[in-house]
Amino acid sequence: MTFDLRFVLPAALLLVARASWAQSSLVERYDVPASCPTALWFEAELRRRGPSPANWEGAVQVSVEAHGARFVGHVQRAGPSAVLDAREVEHESCEQVVRALALIASLLLTPSAGGTPSGPHARSDAGDTEKPSSPNAPKTSAPAGGSAPNAASAPRPQRPWRLEHGMALGLAVQSSIAPDVRVGPRLGYRLLIARAGSESELGVSFARIQSGSIDAAGVGSAELTYSAGRVRLCHAVPLLGSLWLAPCGVLDVGELRGVGSTTGKDRVTRSALWLSPGLLGKLELRPRRPLFMEVAAGAFFPLSRPEFHFTHKGPPATEQLIYETPKNLGFSANLSFGVLFP
């Protein structure tokens, strides 16, 4: 199998360009656990909070840490005087923490809301902590020298999940569709429902894999082509940093097509239904949003088992087998690269 660089290089350049586009002039640093909203999501929330983002000055630095079952977030203005404008938010929902940090960041970036020098400490004392209006509201530490946002500006209660979607391009490795294991391209799209500490995925993809020439001694040759769509359901949890693990159930539906020709005769095409459920394990690395890399592998069972053969009309009539789909489990794997959009 050969790869055309005319298609590979533009795809790689697109991913690099997407990563560069993710840079923000308002958010200098964004360091959060993998289960928290993305930097793009935070910036969109930040821009929504301010009445006139064009008049904002400077940038902010954001960090969130998991402390047991709760999340503690920090936001501060970037620059030499950042210590004077630091804020802290604590809540059991990382999304609620990030929403509160976006609200505070919009106030910090407003020229009239900047803090005034009041001391060398980056954090307020415990006595400066506001009491939340309800058990579900994030606790916010006020900045030294600054005023806390009033109750009318507090973030509204939001749903505990968010939607993301993305596209991926990669390689599919498949057995049971030819005498040996074959490789071909796979293009996919996914829809994610992200919650605190987990994600549910509905994905669809399409793969096309060719067997290469299969010779039947003294008769002719044939080639098989596997073309199938895949529906995938996964439930992912974070492992370490930006690494995610997920079990997945899949269903492949398509066709296995054979094109054969005997010596001195025309080519003949035959097609058969392909249907196979399976189970996969997936590891996904998200080194920098919106980019991700995925490796998945597992087994499937062909419910339909196409068979291809040459027929000799005789006399006597005989059949010479070209390929028969095995009646046992097959192997399937993917290596994909893609982007996620908030």
Domain boundaries, the chain: 24-153, 161-341
Least trusted range by pLDDT, from 9-18, 20-29, 101-110, 322-331: 9-18
Percent of the chain with pLDDT over 90: 37
CA distance 249 to 282: 11
Neighbours of 47 (CB within 10 A): 14
pLDDT attached to residue 81: 54
Residue 62 contacts by C-beta under 8 Å, 6 or more apart in sequence? 27, 29, 30, 31, 32, 42, 73, 74, 75, 98, 101, 105
- Token pair of 88 as six digits: 């802290």
Residues 6+ apart with CB under 8 A from 75: 60, 61, 62, 86, 87, 89, 101, 104, 105, 108
For residue 20, give both structure tokens.
Answer: 């560069």
Average pLDDT over residues 10-22: 42
**CA distance linking residue 57 with residue 110, whole number of Å:** 6
Percentage of the chain with pLDDT > 70? 73
pLDDT over 50 at 118, yes or no: no
Residue 137 has pLDDT above 90, yes or no: no
**pLDDT over threshold 90, residue 246:** yes
Alpha carbon distance 50, 15 (integer Å) = 30
Mean pLDDT of 102-131: 54
Q: How confident is the model at residue 184 (pLDDT cuts 50, 70, 90)?
A: very high
What burial class does residue 316 get, using C-beta atoms within 10 Å of its C-beta: 0-12 exposed, 13-18 middle, 19+ buried?
A: exposed
Separation CA 212–CA 279 (nearest Å): 27
- Tell whether the model's pLDDT for residue 256 goes beyond 60: yes
Position 264 confidence tier, pLDDT thresholds 50, 70, 90:
low
Q: Give me the pLDDT at residue 44, please.
A: 80
- Whether the predicted pLDDT of 41 surpasses 80: yes
Least confident segment among 53-67, 130-144, 210-224: 130-144
Residues 6+ apart with CB under 8 A from 27: 39, 42, 43, 46, 59, 60, 61, 62
State yes or no: pLDDT of 36 exceeds 90.
Answer: no
> Cα Rg for the chain, rounded, in angstroms?
28
Higher pLDDT, 41 or 132: 41
- Model confidence band, residue 115 (pLDDT cutoffs 50, 70, 90): very low
Provide the pLDDT for residue 261. Answer: 84
- Among 126-130, 271-275, 307-311, the range scoring the smallest mean pLDDT is 126-130
CA dist., res. 90 & res. 73, Å (int): 6
Query: Which of 290, 274, 323 has the alpha carbon at shortest distance from 22?
Result: 290
Q: Please give the pLDDT value at position 112.
A: 61
Q: Is the overall model pTM greater than 0.75, yes or no?
A: no
Domain 24-153 has CATH 3.30.70.1150: no
Q: Residue 52 has what pLDDT?
A: 61
pLDDT at 147 exceeding the cut of 80: no
Which tokens go with 322? Answer: 């070209």
pLDDT at 188 over 80: yes
Q: What local confidence, expressed as pLDDT, does residue 80 receive?
A: 56
Name which residue leads in pLDDT, 60 or 132: 60
Q: What is the mean pLDDT of the chain?
A: 78
Cβ contact 62:74 at 8 Å: yes
Reported confidence tier of residue 20, pLDDT bands at 50, 70, 90: very low
Q: What does the pLDDT read at residue 139?
A: 57
For the domain made up of 161-341, the CATH class stated in words is mainly beta
Q: Please give the average per-residue pLDDT across 157-178, as a whole number.
A: 87
